Amino acid sequence: MADFKEIQKNIKPYDGKTYGTLIPGPFQKFLRTCKIWQFIRFIVINLKMLAVVSKSHH
């Protein structure tokens, strides 16, 4: 069994340089802020939920 100190030396803590947040591009920003696209997504998600619920009630 490997020594705990030996295993621990290979584990590096979060340093902020190697991990970053994903920044949305211009198209993604457009999709997130477009009211028409959000309404279409709302309708599609609700139709999917209706399909799932109707299957469970039969």
Instruction: Name the DSSP class of 10.
Output: T
Radius of gyration of the chain (CA): 23
Angle between helices 35-56 and 26-33 (to 10 degrees): 70
The tokens describing 43, both together, are 């309708």
pLDDT in tens, 7-32: 666 666 666 566 667 888 999 999 99
C-alpha 29 chain-centroid distance: 15
pLDDT in tens, 47-58: 999 999 998 876
Residue 38: the pLDDT is 96
List the alpha helices (DSSP H) in the chain: 4-8, 26-33, 35-56
